[in-house]
Amino acid sequence: MEGQGLINLRRILNFRIFLMYSTKEKSIFLVFIGWILFMVSTFLYSKIVKEVYPALVMPTFKGVLLKNDKITISEFKINIYFANHDSMIVERDYIFDQLHGREYIVYNYNYLLTKAIVEDATNSSNEDQIKLKQFKQYFIQKIQSKTGRMDATQLILFKYKKVFDLEQNAFISKICSNKRVFELSL
Amino acid sequence: MKIATYLPAINRWIHHEYTFTIEGAGIFRIVYVLYCFFISGIPNFSRASYNPDFMYNPSVGLGSLIRSIPSYGFLESLEIILWILHLNLLFGYKTKWVCLGITFFMIIGRTFIYAFGFIDHYIVADVFPAIMAFSGWGLAYSIDGKNSKADDEKNNWPMAMIALTLGFAMFTTGILKVIGGWLYLNTPAAYGHMLYHYLSYHTMLLAHSLLAMKWPWFWELADYVTVFLELGLIFTIGHRKWFLQALFLFLLFHLFNILFLNIAFLIHYIIYLAYLPWDKYHNSDSRFYRWCHLITTKRNLFVTICLVLLYKLFYFNPVFSSSKTTSIVAIFPGNDTYIAWMNLLIVICTLIFFMFTLYLKPPSDRLHIKIKPEQQALS
């Protein structure tokens, strides 16, 4: 059976035509195949890192938050929005206009915050918790040095208000509560 | 079905679909480098060194080999190397190796920049010079072109490979949207995206006017058009004409993105422009050709590199040091109005240039019209 399979494969591929091409054409053909395989594999890898991993983490995150009495459902929505929308809080804000690498700060902050919310709720502590504390201090210090009038909490509340204003129009609530769109934003 | 029966067609596509002339490619190379310097900008890696060490959190890759952010000096050196390599590319000196070097150093620099969590969309632009290295775009309007010992040769396949890469990149963004639910009729995803950008202070140009638009079918249509465009590009790469039409649609798509979402992907426009018939601008009698021939010498390249390095060393520009790139768009990093209007201007100019070049008659036709009476008289 195996022998028959090989013969069938050989018939399908018909390598004789391929072998007729010049060495240069053959090598370029192989480069194209390699390039396609590389692109597909990197895409699949990034998909696993970006989607499969959060898909495993997020149900726990959602469950823990909903069971926690201290966090209401609207806060949960906002947290989701906050944690997963990079520029929601500071990216384009005038406060960070002159700050080097502002985007990276926001992304890292969101990442750490998401992790910290999960880990706070499960009473676990690790290196990320320490990192988050360090980051919060850095964040507040930067904001204070730039504005001298607003601390991080006020800034976050200020932005939350913007979201709530729109939520009354039932735009954001639909988007935030929509699991599919939410997953996409990861 | 025999796979091998498709081999001749695939082989023809690889080697003959995206043909160009070395003169056309030479002109494009010059435009590409100038675009990289002034429009999309050479990245400013050194600003990453201002971030605190604890934020350094690299993904799997080169960045994970070291435990903290590289020093300012190291990142600044990467930038200077990139400046020198781009100047070499402008003059067309050792083009193949210079192009490979640009991609290599770009990827190293980006590795450290991306180690703070944010991964941007520059990969197609970063691999572009490495693929073009084998096209022979340094054989005209260049120092290599004058050197008979240059080891470059003209190949069409890099253009096919870039078309494939661009098509695949767009396809991946489209397929993720499909999986994420953009096409569900109850999810106005484009509207959500617009709101998200609006809340992030992307409020320039026509962004505000769309905020009040609540007609669901309009937003569903936007969802479908976006996904259709992104998924469709890869199916047009089989024919150059189709691909060019699709790239034109993409430029229109970018125009709408800038107008309503204030998002610009400046680095992609120059890749689209690579597929234009640049040979239409080649004329060996032109002043530009003679000027390029005169100016592309090793001595001039050396002088230019020295001048640029002196500028970088002695005139430490605080504008460029805080900006992401050397682009004219990044001159005022905090001024959203300026950025939005500059982006709009660039996309409109690119669109006009794209249309103009597509419909411009080739020089042979123009020449033919001119000499036709003489030919008739001779005959």
The pLDDT score that the predictor gives to residue B379 is 47
Dihedral of CA atoms B250, B256, B262, B265 in degrees, nearest 10, equals 10
Identity of residue B267: I
Contacts of A131 in chain B (CB under 8 A): 54-55
- Rama region for B61: left / alpha / beta (φ>0; ψ in -120 to 50; rest): left
The pLDDT score that the predictor gives to residue B340 is 86
Residues A117-142: tens digit of each pLDDT: 444 434 445 555 565 556 556 555 55
Q: Does A110 touch chain B (CB under 8 A)?
A: yes
ipTM of the complex: 0.84
The pLDDT score that the predictor gives to residue B293 is 87
Residues B162-204: tens digit of each pLDDT: 999 999 999 988 887 777 667 777 666 777 667 656 655 577 8
Place of tokens 């050194």: B46
**Residue ranges of chain A with pLDDT lower than 70?**
1-17, 46-186
| Cα B136 from Cα B143, distance rounded (Å) | 13
Identity of residue B40: S
Residues B133-171: tens digit of each pLDDT: 999 899 999 998 887 666 678 899 999 999 999 999 999
Burial class (CB within 10 angstroms; exposed 0-12, middle 13-18, buried 19+) of B244:
middle
**Residue ranges of chain B with pLDDT lower than 70?**
1-4, 51-52, 54-55, 57, 59, 116-119, 148-151, 180-181, 186-188, 192-193, 195-201, 214, 314-326, 332-334, 361-379
Identity of residue A123: N
Longest dimension (CA), chain A: 79
The pLDDT score that the predictor gives to residue B173 is 83
Q: Does A157 touch chain B (CB under 8 A)?
A: no
The pLDDT score that the predictor gives to residue A93 is 28
pLDDT, mean over chain B: 82
Q: Please state at what angle helix B72-91 crosses helix B95-113, rounded to 10 degrees.
A: 150
* Binding-face residues of B in 31-90 toward A, CB within 8 A: 47-48, 50-52, 54-55, 57, 59
Contacts of A175 in chain B (CB under 8 A): 191-192, 195
The pLDDT score that the predictor gives to residue A167 is 34
Q: Does A118 touch chain B (CB under 8 A)?
A: no
| Cα B69 from Cα B114, distance rounded (Å) | 11
- Report the number of secondary-structure helices (H) and strands (E) in chain A: 10, 0
Dihedral of CA atoms B362, B364, B369, B370 in degrees, nearest 10, equals 120
Select the residue of A13, A101, A183 nearest B51 (Cβ to Cβ): A101
Instruction: For residue B376, give the 3-state DSSP assignment.
Output: helix
The pLDDT score that the predictor gives to residue B68 is 82
Residues B230-239: tens digit of each pLDDT: 999 999 999 9
